[in-house]
């Protein structure tokens, strides 16, 4: 089991160091390599006894068979990890804000999915989009965005995790500076699943919807909000 998990992690690491995701030809080769590796591992390790002091007399052929079997386990697990990481990356990158939608008002509905972070002039939080109340797009639209709500003429409303809102927002595709030895903002947002960032463009017409969202994640964020309120008090 440890060999499988180590090989799987190795495959994920190798994928993360690639400059591009695999094409269809690489996918076919990856599937074949995984099947062949798993088949060889099953044959080589079938009925193989562990090598210890009681098996000193094992032949060189049997030792080679066991060694090749465990190497095949590593190889198949690494291929599986590489493929899993590539599939997750393609799924996440498939969600994209259309370039024509940037810097224009867009109406969305959804709920606050994280504990808001408050600053001097407002708050920022993750927002789970349930519906895009605008024209349909040719690509999959982001499900998770990062929003800022700036207090202008009126103070901020209560921003509670799980609260559902209908908002007018202005968004852009996530990007950040790529300076050496500094945090890679774009990679950090991608790791969190955030595929667009922006701000509430018309706070005066924001509508608080009646039914709050539920779920394990929302419950955890509400517990964090309650703990923060007790600390502040």
Domain extent, residue 166, equals 99-232
Do 197 and 179 have their domain in common?
Answer: yes
Please classify residue 26 by burial: count the beta carbons closer than 10 Å to its beta carbon, then call 0-12 exposed, 13-18 middle and 19+ buried.
middle
Do 209 and 104 have their domain in common?
Answer: yes
Q: What is the number of alpha carbons within 13 Å of residue 152 lying toward its C-beta?
A: 9
Please say whether the dihedral angle defined by the alpha carbons of residues 197, 203, 209 and 214, taken in this order, is positive or negative.
positive
Q: CA–CA separation, 227 vs 220, rounded Å?
A: 11
Do 196 and 162 have their domain in common?
Answer: yes
Q: Is the pLDDT of residue 70 over 70?
A: yes
Do 81 and 115 have their domain in common?
Answer: no
197 to each of 58, 128, 211, how far by Cα in Å?
62, 12, 25
128 has which bridge partners?
Answer: 111, 144
Specify the pLDDT at position 207: 94
Do 30 and 84 have their domain in common?
Answer: yes
Do 115 and 223 have their domain in common?
Answer: yes
Q: Whole-model pTM above 0.85?
A: no
Domain boundary residue, one of 41, 74, 94: 94
Q: CA–CA separation, 146 vs 191, rounded Å?
A: 13
Do 136 and 70 have their domain in common?
Answer: no
pLDDT tens track for 211-228: 999 999 999 999 999 999
Do 63 and 178 have their domain in common?
Answer: no
Higher pLDDT, 124 or 18: 124
Do 109 and 223 have their domain in common?
Answer: yes
Q: Is the pLDDT of residue 138 over 70?
A: no
- How are beta strands 144-150 and 197-200 bridged, if at all? parallel
Helices (H) and strands (E) in the chain, counts: 5, 7
Specify the pLDDT at position 53: 47
Domain boundary residue, one of 72, 94, 116: 94
Domain boundary residue, one of 79, 94, 109: 94
Q: What is the DSSP letter of 203?
A: G
Nearest to 125 by CA among 160, 96, 154: 160
Do 110 and 220 have their domain in common?
Answer: yes
Nearest to 122 by CA among 154, 156, 97, 153: 156
Token pair belonging to 167: 């908002």
108 has which bridge partners?
Answer: 132, 167
Q: Is the pLDDT of residue 74 over 70?
A: yes
**Number of folded domains in the chain?**
2
∠ Cα 109 112 117 (to 5°): 135
Q: What percent of the chain has pLDDT over 90?
A: 52
Do 27 and 110 have their domain in common?
Answer: no
Specify the pLDDT at position 137: 67
Specify the pLDDT at position 10: 92
What integer best gives the mean pLDDT of the chain?
87
Nearest to 124 by CA among 156, 98, 93, 172: 156
Do 183 and 208 have their domain in common?
Answer: yes
Mean pLDDT of 163-191: 85
């Amino acid at each position: 089991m440890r060999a499988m998990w180590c090989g799987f992690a190795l495959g994920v690491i190798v994928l993360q160091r690639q400059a591009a995701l695999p094409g269809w030809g690489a996918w076919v080769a990856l599937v074949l390599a995984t099947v062949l590796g798993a088949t060889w591992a099953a044959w080589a390790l079938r009925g193989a006894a562990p090598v210890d002091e009681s098996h000193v007399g094992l032949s060189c052929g049997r030792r080679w068979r066991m060694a090749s079997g465990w190497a095949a386990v590593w190889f198949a697990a690494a291929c599986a990890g590489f493929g899993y990481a590539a599939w997750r990356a393609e799924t996440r990158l498939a969600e994209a804000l259309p370039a024509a939608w940037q810097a224009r008002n867009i109406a969305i509905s959804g709920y606050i999915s994280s504990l808001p972070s408050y600053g001097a002039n407002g708050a920022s939080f993750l927002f789970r989009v349930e519906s895009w109340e605008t024209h349909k797009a040719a690509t999959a639209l982001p499900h998770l965005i990062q929003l800022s709500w700036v207090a202008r003429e009126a103070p901020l409303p209560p921003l509670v995790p799980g609260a559902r809102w209908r908002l007018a927002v202005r968004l852009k595709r996530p990007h950040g500076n790529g300076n050496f030895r500094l945090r890679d903002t774009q990679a950090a947002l991608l790791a969190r699943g955030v595929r667009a960032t922006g701000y509430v463009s018309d706070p005066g017409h924001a509508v608080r919807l009646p039914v709050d969202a539920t779920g394990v994640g929302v419950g955890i964020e509400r517990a964090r909000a309650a703990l923060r309120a007790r600390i502040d008090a």
